[in-house]
């Protein structure tokens, strides 16, 4: 079930794409009356401004200033999909009257649902311009895939081709933790952060590209890295960022010192136990001698008693 917050973001994103209420109602399968109601509320709050009949402009900082924070806190975007072809097509012939441009003089490029599509010999490349909000990168990617399937279906009908079974992968994908505290602070100070390595390239950054306060991940493992960064960041935030390497080292040192003190105490205790054990062993060895001594003493006392009686 999609949250209301995520639903609001979706409508605003579609308005930002230039779609009118009729198109939005069809795409979301919701009545035009309901879409008009939400648009009216957005206008009252100053999130959008009417530019013409059925067209609205989403104000620049609207998505970062909403007074409802989305429960879906990850924005997946900048997807570039590569779809493998199972056969070669004469794209110029397939295009017919469809408008296209030749990229590098050989690759036809068309637009479907406002997405750029490059028609190559072995692959089709689709540039997704929409954002997909979710509670984590994995679900965001699922929504992006659903959008891709819709585009492919439209492409097949338009060009009269069969691309099934679909075989695709992403050559680029970005995921941003929206309204992230660190990103908001960096944006406030007009600062940027970029982390790069030779294995994954640029994989973590803050650049305020959409005024959403985003801590973004990309690179070859973007969907995995986003989930890892999200879990890592939220876990640290839960502990108020107090569990630092220094904190861990000091805690381990304190534990080690405590354990050493316990070991010393146990060592002393062991010494006492050992001494007591020696005493008990010695005592156990002396018991037969003490028993014999008591017996001899008792017999001697009995003889003395009898002698006194006889003398009397």
Q: What is the β-pairing status of strands 55-58 and 101-103?
A: unpaired
pLDDT score at 70:
45
pLDDT score at 1:
42
Question: Do residues 98 and 159 lie in contact, with contact meaning Cβ atoms separated by under 8 Å?
Answer: yes
Q: What is the β-pairing status of strands 215-217 and 107-112?
A: unpaired
Average pLDDT over residues 222-247: 82
Q: Is 5 exposed, middle or buried (0-12, 13-18, 19+ CB in 10 A)?
A: middle
pLDDT score at 165:
92
Question: What percent of the chain shows pLDDT beyond 70?
Answer: 87
pLDDT band at 69 (very low <50, low <70, confident <90, very high): very low
Q: Which of 27-41, 60-74, 239-253 is the least confident region?
A: 60-74
Q: Among 191, 147, 192, which residue's Cα sits nearest to residue 170? A: 147
C-alpha span between 226 and 178 (Å, rounded): 12
pLDDT score at 249:
79
Average pLDDT over residues 117-142: 93
pLDDT band at 225 (very low <50, low <70, confident <90, very high): confident
The two most distant CA atoms of the chain are separated, in Å, by 153
Question: Do residues 32 and 22 lie in contact, with contact meaning Cβ atoms separated by under 8 Å?
Answer: yes
Residue 204 scores a pLDDT above 80: yes
For 138-199, give the DSSP string. Answer: HHHHHHHHHHHHHHHHHHHHHHT---PSP-EEEEEEEEEETT-HHHHHHHHTT--EEEEETT
pLDDT score at 145:
92
Strands of the chain, DSSP E: 48-52, 55-58, 74-84, 101-103, 107-112, 115-119, 123-127, 132-134, 168-177, 193-197, 201-206, 215-217
pTM over 0.85: no
pLDDT score at 4:
63
């Amino acid at each position: 079930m999609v949250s209301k917050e995520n639903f609001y973001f979706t409508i605003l994103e579609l308005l930002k794409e230039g779609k009118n209420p009729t198109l939005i109602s069809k795409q979301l399968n919701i009545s035009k009356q309901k879409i008009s109601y939400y648009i009216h509320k957005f206008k009252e709050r100053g999130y959008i401004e009417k530019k013409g009949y059925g067209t609205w402009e989403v104000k620049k900082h609207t998505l970062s200033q909403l007074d409802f924070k989305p429960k879906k806190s990850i924005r997946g975007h900048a997807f570039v999909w590569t779809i493998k072809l199972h056969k070669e097509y004469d794209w110029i012939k397939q295009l017919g009257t469809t408008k296209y441009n030749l990229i590098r003089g050989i690759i036809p490029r068309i637009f479907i649902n406002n997405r750029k599509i490059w028609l190559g010999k072995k692959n089709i490349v689709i540039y997704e311009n929409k954002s997909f909000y979710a509670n984590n990168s994995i679900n965001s990617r699922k929504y992006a895939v659903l959008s891709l399937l819709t585009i492919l279906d439209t492409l097949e009908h338009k060009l009269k081709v069969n691309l099934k079974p679909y075989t695709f992968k992403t050559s680029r994908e970005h995921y941003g933790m929206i309204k992230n505290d660190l990103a908001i602070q960096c944006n406030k100070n007009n600062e940027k952060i970029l982390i790069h390595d030779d294995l994954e390239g640029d994989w973590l950054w803050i650049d305020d590209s959409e005024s959403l306060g985003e801590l973004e991940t990309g690179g070859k493992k973007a969907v995995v890295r986003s989930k890892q960064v999200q879990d890592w960041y939220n876990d640290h935030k839960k502990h108020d960022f107090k569990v630092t390497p220094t904190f861990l080292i000091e805690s381990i040192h304190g534990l080690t010192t405590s354990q050493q003190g316990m070991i010393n105490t146990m060592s002393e205790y062991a010494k006492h136990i050992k001494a007591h054990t020696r005493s008990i062993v010695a005592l156990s060895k002396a018991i037969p001698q003490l028993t014999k001594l008591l017996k001899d003493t008792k017999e001697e006392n009995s003889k003395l008693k009898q002698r006194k009686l006889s003398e009397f």
